[in-house]
Structure 1
Amino acid sequence: MKPKNVLILMSDEHTRGAAGCYGHDIVRTPNLDRLAARGARFDTAYTPCPVCVPARAAFATGKYIHQIGTWDNATAFDGSLPSWHRLLRERGHQTVSIGKLHFRSTEDDNGFADERLSMHIVEAKGDLLGLIRDEDTVKRGGSRKMAQMAGPGESMYTRYDRDITSDAITWLHEEAPKHRGKPWVMFVSWVAPHFPLTAPSQHFYHYYNQDLPEPKLYHLRDKPIHPYVDDYRGIFAYDEYFDTPDAVKRALAGYFGLVSFMDEQVGLVLDALGKAGLQDDTHVVYTSDHGDNLGARGAWGKSLMYEESVGVPLMVAGPGIPAGTVVKTPASILDLYPFIMEGVGARDSETVPDDVPGTSVRALIDGAEADRAAFSEYHGMGSRKAAFMIRKGDWKLVHYIDYPDQLFNLAEDPDEVNDRAEEPGCAAIREALMQELLKICDPAAVDREARAHQARKIVENGGKEPIIARGDLGFSVPPGVEPSFS
């Protein structure tokens, strides 16, 4: 692959199915649809962890969460580990970040040659409350903020995203021409469609003024589903404040509206890339850090191993990428790490060492490793013990520590209703997927390591009482905005 620039576009909390190119009947995403049409779309791509801070640390380093120890939203990337941006900067490539990073702090050297408008975890501490995973009394207010803030208008996030888009357009026109000697990498990272579910009015009302189906399997919201999921829903009380059908509809319209708003930002940046004369010299990637449950089974937000939360959109376009390609091979956003390195002509044993687990998306487009497995793990807020996911072919295993496993055939059961983990006829499949998991890690040992780390951090921050007194952050804030705890 001839070295080219790489433009990475990342949203936050965009569930894979919420886009026209992924078959959604309602959500309008014309710019993502066009990007997918002129390149490759991955139909089974996953996050390495369905929550922001760990997923973004994994994306930066190209490694699994358990390899780098960024377990939760209070343990962020601090620039000390090798990252694609630091290694490329050291080799003379211009690496620029514009927007949300969700690393520890701007005080750290995060590895970019140019870091702009960066958003990091609050107070370099992040979500300390999420470290406390063993008490029923630590309830989270996620659904209250989701329900009460869903509606039309502008939020701190939509205003921030507009600034990110403006700066990205300016960089393409003003700065990119200064770096023609070596391929550059620009990482543009928006917050939408992450809650609060406040969407610009024109986008909100486009969805609110039509009939919207209720969330998937919403009739199960008051019924036991699985012990792990029931415990998670109890801690977050995620459906408690959605007490009317209109509250649910406003949340859906807000989320769909934010997806369309984000798609609008994508279009503006892609238009600028073309007008700057850079399209033919640039590979473009679009993905998200994780998905969103979007009310399915009465869960909102992320953190679960169902497809809505752990699945992400992924598309790649540019020189040499065959148009209209659909890739069925399970993929991960970690597969972007080796692609970035080879894309700019910097792939070798130092930049992509043996312990980097990803396979370049370019190789996957060409048909490599069709029988591979995709992996995700979770050790954060709302969970008592770890959860691990393996997807291979049509089958998906979710392995929990101290909870029953789940097994789904996603070809026959895309809604993940029929758990087949205890079916005698599926024992061999379950065991084969468990062996795939064991090739990657020792789940019980990883869980112990994560919880020991979190116990130490609780002590370092004064113990449980001051952490609980600090309150529930809800979400991080853009530069210049004061955080609000509740």
Structure 2
Amino acid sequence: MINALFEGIVMTRAFVCLLLLVGCSVTNLAHAADVRPNVLFLFADDQRADTIAALGNSHIQTPNLDRLVRRGLAFDRAYMQGGLNGATCVPSRAMLLSGRCLFRIDEKLLRDETWPAAFGRAGYSTFVSGKWHNGEKSIARSFQQARGIFEGGMTNPLNAKLSDLVEGSLTTPKLAPKHACEVFADEAIRFLNAKHERPFFCYVPFDAPHDPHVVPKDFKIRYDADQIPLPPNFLPQHPWNNGEMTIRDEALLRWPRQPEKIREMIAEYYRYVSYLDAEIGRVLDALEASPHAKNTIVVFAADSGVARGSHGLIGKQNCYEHSMRVPLIMSGPGIPQGQRTNAMCYLFDVLPTLGKLCDVSGPTTSEGIEFTATVKDPTHAARPQLVLGYKSVQRAIRDDRWKLIRYPHIDKTQLFDLQADPHEITNLADKPEHAAKVADLMTRLEKDLTAFGDKHPLKVSNPEPAEWTPPVANGKANKARNAKKKPA
């Protein structure tokens, strides 16, 4: 009996050890099998799609974004969908992170699960450093780690107050010791250099090149304003009231816009873009020096464009290409190198696409489409058409060739042939030979807006006069200019 008992104990211990070994083996195999790609998402603030040298701008220096272009796939027709308030970066970032359209987003990101949270749920290590303009409470709901957070819209980046996420809440903001973009890059590099046993999702939303265009004095790249060309669609003043003519952004320069002032503004803007490019370069260098280089998808995009003199406008509160079209570059395993695509997409389609590439199931409320077919074959189309909007005063639709912009409050319509007129200079809406095209696009616009949940009409019963005069005489322009230090 004693021998039998002894043998039973030995067998039990052996069985327990076997279970432990099997469990360890399964765990190790699970870690070893988790070769899903990492994600490094670099996000700019108010960067036009035409501000990258490798994509055709010979007047700007962007060697690190050029590096991404050479190593990846550039989307020439990526768009943010618009905004229902003047600070369009708020809805743009909410759309990106939630995968929801403009007319159904929760700008505070508290109602629906976000894509970063879905990545975390799927086993990814998630991290953010940078500008957060969607409310403090949603950071911990979306990311496991957050450092160097600027919670707000805009600030002097040399005097930015930043926080860290500790036990689910942001710490008291403290004055950063250097330019905010440098801090964001430092924190991203710190995260990339850390040991990772799981795939990671690293999101770096910079606050550049949003105004104020403040760059460290010792940054070497400078631009001669006299050598900066005016935008092809430059106007001294927008020819009618687009519904948002005196917002802070538009009051940054006097009316009518003076060519030399526009050149000076663009020179400062380009310098800030080049500074951001340098900080992005540091992050890319750190990634390349890490063990993660070959298994990381790198994405660069921006939350919006901006006018900077185009169509007589300064800001981004409009539906023109310069303000709605954004840069989008993707590089990494399985992504074609040195190619461009005309496939149309929204920013809120990007994370569903990354989810597909990373085998991550997204939020049930996400409505963006995934365009991995385009990533694999850049000639493959994504969306057949896009609709855009700003507040209740502007709506637009574009397809492969045509673009229509509608201003309900003044009963005005623009039609552009983007193939022949990419800068939207010649309005064809009133030409009799294009009446059928206007009617077709209006019908499609109304149908798509209804599908997206937009409740605003494309026609109003009592439209306002289209004429507009700058409010200089009563001092409103000066008041608006003085407000440029306030977040917008």
1:417 maps to amino acid: I
Partners of 1:55 and 1:289 within 8 A in 2 = yes
**Residue in 1 that maps onto 2:434:** 426
Matched, 1:392 2:426: no
Shift of 1:354: 7.7
Q: Deviations over 1:267-315 (max 9, x none)?
A: 1111100101211110111000000101223311211111111111001
**Residue in 2 that maps onto 1:58:** 95
Shift of 1:82: 1.6
One of 91, 98, 113 as aligned partner of 2:144: 113
Shift of 1:79: 2.6
Q: Deviations over 1:409-457 (max 9, x none)?
A: 1110112111112223223333333333234323995238xxxxxxxxx
Q: How does 1:143-158 map to 2 (within 5 A)?
A: 156=160
2:340 maps to amino acid: V
1:23 & 1:235 partners in 2: Cα distance? 27
Shift of 1:192: 0.9
Partners of 1:161 and 1:191 within 8 A in 2 = yes
1:26 & 1:58 partners in 2: Cα distance? 32
Matched, 1:302 2:316: yes
CA spacing shift, 1:5–1:165, aligned 2, 3 Å: same
1:228 maps to amino acid: N
2:255 & 2:433 partners in 1: Cα distance? 41
**Residue in 1 that maps onto 2:66:** 33
**Residue in 2 that maps onto 1:272:** 286
**Residue in 2 that maps onto 1:132:** none
CA spacing shift, 1:365–1:293, aligned 2, 3 Å: farther
Corresponding residue SS for 1:80: coil
1:100 & 1:437 partners in 2: Cα distance? 33
| Structure 2 residue runs without a partner (length 5+) | 1-34, 162-177, 458-478
**Residue in 2 that maps onto 1:322:** 336
Corresponding residue SS for 1:228: coil
Partners of 1:392 and 1:433 within 8 A in 2 = no
1:234 & 1:285 partners in 2: Cα distance? 31
Q: Deviations over 1:124-149 (max 9, x none)?
A: xx9xxxxxxxxxxxxxxxxxx9xxx9
Shift of 1:202: 5.4
1:35 maps to amino acid: L
Matched, 1:164 2:184: yes
TM-score w.r.t. the length of structure 2 is: 0.76
One of 208, 228, 232 as aligned partner of 1:212: 228
| More off after superposition, 422-431 vs 289-298 | 422-431
Corresponding residue SS for 1:207: coil
Corresponding residue SS for 2:456: helix
1:39 maps to amino acid: G
Q: How does 1:46-445 map to 2 (within 5 A)?
A: 46-49=79-82, 51-68=88-105, 70=106, 76-106=107-137, 109-121=140-152, 156=160, 159-174=179-194, 177-180=195-198, 183-201=199-217, 206-208=222-224, 211-218=227-234, 220-222=235-237, 225-228=239-242, 231=245, 236-240=250-254, 246-347=260-361, 351=362, 353=364, 356-360=367-371, 363=374, 366=377, 367-369=379-381, 372-379=384-391, 385-402=392-409, 403-442=411-450
CA spacing shift, 1:230–1:387, aligned 2, 3 Å: closer
Q: Deviations over 1:67-113 (max 9, x none)?
A: 12x5xxxxx32433121012222233211111112111257643111
Partners of 2:371 and 2:382 within 8 A in 1 = no
1:194 maps to amino acid: H
Partners of 1:337 and 1:358 within 8 A in 2 = no
Considering Cα pairs closer than 8 Å and 6+ residues apart, tell me whether 1 or 2 has the greater RCO: 1
CA spacing shift, 1:422–1:91, aligned 2, 3 Å: same
Partners of 1:203 and 1:258 within 8 A in 2 = no
1:303 maps to amino acid: Q
| More off after superposition, 228-237 vs 59-68 | 228-237
Corresponding residue SS for 1:206: coil
CA spacing shift, 1:418–1:155, aligned 2, 3 Å: farther
CA spacing shift, 1:119–1:80, aligned 2, 3 Å: farther
CA spacing shift, 1:375–1:178, aligned 2, 3 Å: same
| Structure 1 residue runs without a partner (length 5+) | 71-75, 127-144, 380-384, 449-467, 478-486
Shift of 1:28: 0.8
Partners of 1:20 and 1:28 within 8 A in 2 = yes
Shift of 1:264: 0.7
CA spacing shift, 1:230–1:342, aligned 2, 3 Å: closer
Partners of 1:41 and 1:314 within 8 A in 2 = yes
| More off after superposition, 87-96 vs 433-442 | 433-442
TM-score w.r.t. the length of structure 1 is: 0.76
2:218 & 2:387 partners in 1: Cα distance? 38
Partners of 1:239 and 1:299 within 8 A in 2 = no
1:373 maps to amino acid: Q
1:388 maps to amino acid: R
Shift of 1:52: 0.6
1:404 maps to amino acid: K
CA spacing shift, 1:242–1:281, aligned 2, 3 Å: farther
Partners of 1:373 and 1:436 within 8 A in 2 = no
2:218 & 2:233 partners in 1: Cα distance? 29
Q: Deviations over 1:20-73 (max 9, x none)?
A: 1221120111111110111101111111226210101111111111012x5xxx
- Sequence identity percentage: 27
| More off after superposition, 331-340 vs 13-22 | 331-340
2:180 & 2:386 partners in 1: Cα distance? 33
1:107 & 1:345 partners in 2: Cα distance? 24
